[in-house]
Amino acid sequence: MRVGLFIPCYIDQFYPQVGLATVEVLERHGVEIDFPTAQTCCGQPLANTGCLEEARSLAQNFVQIFEKYEYVVCPSGSCTSMVRHHYDQFFPDDPKFHEFTHRVFELCEFLIDVLKVDRIAGRFPYRVGLHQSCHGLRELRLGKSSELVGEPFSKAHKLLGSLEGISLSQLTRPDECCGFGGTFAVAEEAVSCMMGRDRIFDHERAGTEVLTALDMSCLMHLDGLIRRDGKKMRVMHIAEILAGRAV
Amino acid sequence: MPTDHALRAAEFVADSERAHWHDQALWFVRVKRDRMAQSLPEWETLRDTAGAIKAHTMSRLGDYLEEFEQQATALGAKIHWARDAAEHNAIVLSILQSHSVKKVVKSKSMLTEECHLNPFLERHGIEVVDTDLGEWIVQLAGEPPSHIVLPAIHKKKEDVGEIFHRFLGTDKGASDPIYLTEAARHHLRQKFMQGDAGITGVNFAIAETGGFVVCTNEGNADLGVSLPKLHIACMGIEKLIPRARDLGVFLRLLARSATGQPITTYSSHFHGPVAGGELHIVLVDNGRSEILKSDEFRRSLNCIRCGACMNTCPVYRRSGGHSYGTTVPGPIGSILAPARDAKLFAGLPHACSLCGSCTDVCPVKIDLHHQLLTWRGEIGRRGLLPLSKTLPMKLMAFVFRRPWLYSFAGRVGRRIMSLTPKWLLYNRFNSWGRQRELPPVPPQSFRELYARRQHQQN
Amino acid sequence: MPDANTSRTEILHAVRNRQVVHAELPSLDGGWITYPDSVRHFAETLQGVGGKCCEVRDESQLREELSRLPPMATAKKICSLVPEACQPTFDLEQVRDPHELEDVDVAIACGQFAVAENGAVWVTDAGIKHRAVLFITQHLVLVVPRGQVVDNMHQAYERLKFTGPGFGAFISGPSKTADIEQSLVIGAHGPRSHTVFLVGS
């Protein structure tokens, strides 16, 4: 199976290890990867700011680069949801585009839904706190959000829970937003940092040793606070945990 | 250039103890909502049904308005139509003046807040007392409400004690809620007794029967209109529902969503005036028909003003209703306000981290966070974004459209970051760096490392 | 003031002057919640919202239990619309102005039916000269036939027909507020206590 690897711009530039971990996890499960170097960014920061014309050209580039792949996989809920849910305004009444969106996946949902993986081999004897990144949760529905009434489930929890020795933190607010929100992190810096610190405090109270999420953007923000406040909590993207990276 | 919301929010957050207290208070209401929702296996079906009833009503609003008018008139009520806030205020004044009303008791109505009815009536020599306890507290304090259901949620009991000491003569320093509520009960009873007319809002108006429903926990709406002979009910035109039995859906959702109760203490159904009395119903447009025309924003008219979106919004909880500068704050307010004045309220859709929690609690299935995002695009389209936002984005687009330039800029940028001394890097222009460390700077990007890895493997 | 008709015409035109997305009215035959013991669920829910539920076999037990309610011990002015439960101390029909009801201590009225899911009782002003008495009284007592407890609000609305002028309300518990720092205080502006008697076997 040949998959187009979509690596978010900030992972490409600041967290290359997350990209490499993603490659390893996929290859370990028999996936052949192609990383089209023409890719840059899905355009989410531009669309979220309201600069739709600027985002349009990036969206068109993206689809042109990736539409030939059987699947497109991305270690980010928010970038994946940008393509699947917010690109349609740039491709109105385009059945080819609509079909393409069904082939674009976030990493955890690709493992579970397409590769039918339900266990990850490996040992991770730590107390792990999963931060439920909002786009992955409420846009891609990778888990049941706490607001909804229904059967609880979480694809990320399922994969993490299968690792030997791992224990998962119980939070008082299981899926409150970390406060990153893109440009929000800077435009509303005060609220953003208060939100982030509140999340970290919840994890501390739950005994989290390793904080993880499926969106590096959330973790970049939380890690920034953790390091500034001199705390010991380690931060790892879920791909790094699944790839068996050391803490 | 920070928006008004960002500035006010920063002030709110600066008082960390109070900000956390406010956040906890509202989170608790969200938790109560969750408990109630979980107790009904059919909760999601109820939400879908409510959203569908509203969508249907909006698709035939003209017909339902006419049906309501016909039925209500047959019951003996008098219907008035107001195109905007000024007309609404003029109509209410005219009714009051024709009855020589000097004192009005008013129960909670966000519509009358939207129209700024109180100051208008006061300018014309009519005393208006807001009888909902939370509304009365902020009225005495000279402030607008900070939440549409819990108007004084931003006030601690000591604050209320201060206000009551000043205006009611309660003991100085007294803050026991039971003592303070008892004092309010006595004072407001006098106001009820002296009221010449009662004004209420409308939670739901029923087209089929010509009646309407008013929901309260205190009983203040009922007291206010059952003593005097004149009742004026003010409603936005979107408050209509087709049939009485549709109330079964809405009354099951409203209080559970708003405060985590199975139903408000009183759900009063008014059909026509009381014997020997008069009932006036004022139907208000004030921009609603405009919103109705928009495919993207029409669903915001589903709103039943429950406030659940505010209770769950992590930004609202940490910035307070006053930071929005609108009658209705929070997620729904940030969609309705730009519809009224996109230039003035261009910043509000950005007072949001797009977490989507609001959308998941909305009992009438408004896609709140999507509409907030759509507003951002609309504001961009109308050229209302500041240069401080558009310039970086244009630059980003220019760079990102050229992979070689993107890679080059990334390499250069990282090099500069790793060479710049900390004291320079964390300067006052670096908003990210005020409270957070910047991400560590890797010497090579993923694409460089991957290319090397592939090369080594081959 | 602008002509009333112009505003009406303009508003109706404004709401109609657009492309309409047709949307069907959904079915309300949901398969809604029912309770194995709706009377018990009603009583528990009512208690949860600060009210009290008393089950009595018949009129005689109703009279006895009602007379034992704490507010009855000190009540000077009782408005009873259910004479078989308790005699009133005055005749509501003779009262000309509802303001005269300010000092009513206890009001006793009939409720048509009760709703288990939320502890509410449907009360109308049929036969009540001044509906204000239900709200201005310090204590409210409602008498409901035990056989008239429905499970949910959908069943409630199946029983309600709104023809002609009138007033009705779902009343669930005593008046209350949490507007002062979210502390629940019972007895805001309306009745300080709320008791429902379910009569029958």
- Partner-chain contact B223 C170, CB within 8 Å: no
Residue B368: CA count within 13 A, CB half-sphere: 33
- Partner-chain contact A188 B350, CB within 8 Å: yes
**B352 in contact with chain A, both atoms CB, cutoff 8 A:** yes
Torsion angles phi and psi, residue A204, rounded to 5 = -60, -45
- According to the model, what pLDDT value does residue B190 have? 97
CA distance B68 to B79: 9
pLDDT of A88 higher than 80: yes
Same domain, yes or no: A169 and A89: no
Q: Which residue has the tokens 């026991």?
A: B176
Dihedral angle, C-alpha B340, B346, B350, B355, nearest 10 °:
20
- Partner-chain contact B62 C4, CB within 8 Å: no
Same domain, yes or no: A136 and A226: yes
**A39 in contact with chain B, both atoms CB, cutoff 8 A:** yes
Run of H or E residues at B178: helix B177-194
Chain B partners of A19 at a C-beta cutoff of 8 Å?
446, 449-450
Chain B partners of A184 at a C-beta cutoff of 8 Å?
350, 352-354
Burial of A187 (C-beta count, 10 Å sphere; 0-12/13-18/19+): buried
- The residue segments making up the domain with residue B126 are 40-155+196-290
Residue C161: CA count within 13 A, CB half-sphere: 2
**Domain annotation covers residue A214:** yes
* Structural domains of chain B, count: 2
Subunits with 3+ Cβ pairs within 8 Å of C are B
- Partner-chain contact C162 B271, CB within 8 Å: yes
For chain C, which residues make up each domain, given as ranges? Answer: 35-199
Strand locations in chain C (E): 52-56, 78-80, 106-110, 113-115, 120-124, 139-145, 149-150, 166-171, 176-177, 185-186, 193-199
At residue C4 the predicted structure's pLDDT band, cuts being 50, 70 and 90, is confident
Chain C partners of B182 at a C-beta cutoff of 8 Å?
187
Burial of B391 (C-beta count, 10 Å sphere; 0-12/13-18/19+): exposed
Looking at B290, B307, B323, the residue that finishes a domain is B290
Same domain, yes or no: A104 and A7: yes
**Domain annotation covers residue B132:** yes
CA distance B23 to A189: 17
Tally the residues of chain B.
Answer: 458
**Domain annotation covers residue B59:** yes
CA distance B14 to C166: 53
Judge contact between C103 and C126, C-beta under 8 A: no
**Domain annotation covers residue B227:** yes
Taking the CA of residue A189 and the nearest CA in chain B, the distance in Å comes to 7
Looking at B290, B307, B333, the residue that finishes a domain is B290
Judge contact between C124 and C167, C-beta under 8 A: yes
Closest partner residue to C119 (CB to CB) among B52, B262, B293 is: B262
A/C Cβ contact: 3+ pairs below 8 Å: no
**Domain annotation covers residue B184:** no
Q: Residue B330's closest CA among B310, B315, B349, B360? A: B310
Neighbours of C92 (CB within 10 A): 18
Chain B partners of C32 at a C-beta cutoff of 8 Å?
42
Q: Residue C129's closest CA among C172, C163, C88, C86? A: C88
In the 3-class helix/strand/coil scheme, how is chain A assigned residue by residue? CEEEECCCHHHHHHCHHHHHHHHHHHHHCCCEEECCCCCCCCCHHHHHHCCHHHHHHHHHHHHHHHCCCCEEEECCHHHHHHHHHHCHHHCCCCHHHHHHHCCEEEHHHHHHHHCCCCCCCCECCCEEEECCCHHHHHHCCCECCCCCCCCCCEHHHHHHHCCECCEECCCCCCCCCCCCCCCHHHHCHHHHHHHHHHHHHHHHHCCCCEEEECCHHHHHHHHHHHHHCCCCCEEEEHHHHHCCCCC
Strands C166-171 and B266-271, how do they pair?
A: antiparallel
pLDDT digits (tens, 9 = 90+) for C143-199: 999 999 999 999 999 999 999 999 999 999 999 999 999 999 999 999 999 999 999
pLDDT digits (tens, 9 = 90+) for C14-70: 999 887 778 999 999 878 999 999 999 999 999 999 999 999 999 999 999 999 999
- Partner-chain contact B217 C18, CB within 8 Å: no
- According to the model, what pLDDT value does residue C31 have? 87
Residue B437 DSSP label: P
Mean pLDDT, residues A80-87 = 98
* Type of residue numbered A42: C
- Partner-chain contact C102 B264, CB within 8 Å: no
**Domain annotation covers residue A86:** yes
* Type of residue numbered C119: G
Taking the CA of residue B26 and the nearest CA in chain C, the distance in Å comes to 9
Torsion angles phi and psi, residue A108, rounded to 5 = -65, -40
- Partner-chain contact C25 B52, CB within 8 Å: yes
Taking the CA of residue B185 and the nearest CA in chain C, the distance in Å comes to 5
Where residue A143 sits, what CATH number does that domain have? 3.40.50
**Domain annotation covers residue A120:** no
- According to the model, what pLDDT value does residue C2 have? 56
Give me the helices (H) in B357-445, please: 357-361, 368-381, 387-400, 403-419, 422-425
At residue A104 the predicted structure's pLDDT band, cuts being 50, 70 and 90, is very high
Closest partner residue to B185 (CB to CB) among C32, C181, C189 is: C189
CA distance B335 to A166: 43
Q: Residue B189's closest CA among B264, B113, B133? A: B133
B357 Cβ neighbours under 8 A, 6+ residues apart: A134, A138, A145, A147, A175, A176, A177, B312, B313, B314
Chain B partners of C21 at a C-beta cutoff of 8 Å?
55, 59, 295
Looking at B256, B290, B324, the residue that finishes a domain is B290
- The residue segments making up the domain with residue A44 are 2-114
Give me the helices (H) in B306-345, please: 308-312, 314-317, 330-340
String of DSSP letters for B113-158: HHTTHHHHHHHTT-EEEE-SHHHHHHHHHT---SSSSSTTTT--HH
Helix, strand or coil for residue B261?
A: coil
**Domain annotation covers residue B134:** yes
- According to the model, what pLDDT value does residue B1 have? 60
- Partner-chain contact A15 B413, CB within 8 Å: no
Where residue B261 sits, what CATH number does that domain have? 3.40.50.10420
Q: Which residue has the tokens 């009603």?
A: C42
Q: Read off the tokens for B219.
A: 């009983």
Chain B partners of C103 at a C-beta cutoff of 8 Å?
none
**A67 in contact with chain B, both atoms CB, cutoff 8 A:** no
- According to the model, what pLDDT value does residue B3 have? 77
**Domain annotation covers residue B17:** no
- Partner-chain contact B42 C31, CB within 8 Å: yes
Same domain, yes or no: A11 and A105: yes
Q: Which residue has the tokens 């005219």?
A: B94
* Structural domains of chain A, count: 2
Closest partner residue to B211 (CB to CB) among C157, C162, C180 is: C162
* Type of residue numbered B430: N
Residue A18: CA count within 13 A, CB half-sphere: 27
Closest partner residue to B244 (CB to CB) among C33, C102, C157 is: C157
**B417 in contact with chain A, both atoms CB, cutoff 8 A:** no
- Partner-chain contact B222 C22, CB within 8 Å: no
Say what the pTM is. 0.97
**Domain annotation covers residue A195:** yes
Q: Which residues pair with B38 in a beta bridge?
A: none
**Domain annotation covers residue A122:** no
Judge contact between C190 and B223, C-beta under 8 A: yes
- Partner-chain contact C117 B41, CB within 8 Å: no
Run of H or E residues at B96: helix B85-98
- Residue A148: C-alpha distances to residues B29, B357, B365, C167 (Å): 16, 10, 12, 36
Burial of B451 (C-beta count, 10 Å sphere; 0-12/13-18/19+): middle
Looking at A88, A114, A140, the residue that finishes a domain is A114
**A172 in contact with chain B, both atoms CB, cutoff 8 A:** no
B124 Cβ neighbours under 8 A, 6+ residues apart: B93, B97
- pLDDT means over runs of 10, chain B (458 residues): 88 98 98 98 97 97 98 98 98 98 97 97 98 97 96 97 97 96 96 97 98 97 97 98 98 98 98 96 97 96 98 98 97 97 96 98 98 97 92 95 96 95 91 94 97 93
- Partner-chain contact B268 C188, CB within 8 Å: no
Chain A partners of B308 at a C-beta cutoff of 8 Å?
none
Taking the CA of residue B437 and the nearest CA in chain A, the distance in Å comes to 4
CA distance B72 to C162: 12
CA distance C81 to C79: 7
Phi-psi category of C187—alpha, beta or left, where left has phi over 0 and alpha has psi -120 to 50?
Answer: left
Burial of A211 (C-beta count, 10 Å sphere; 0-12/13-18/19+): buried
Q: For the domain with range C35-199, which CATH number is right: 3.40.50.10420, 1.10.3720.10, 3.20.20.140, 3.40.50.10540?
A: 3.40.50.10420
CA distance B155 to B22: 9
Closest partner residue to C45 (CB to CB) among B81, B223, B262 is: B262
- According to the model, what pLDDT value does residue C22 have? 86
Dihedral angle, C-alpha C157, C162, C165, C167, nearest 10 °:
-10
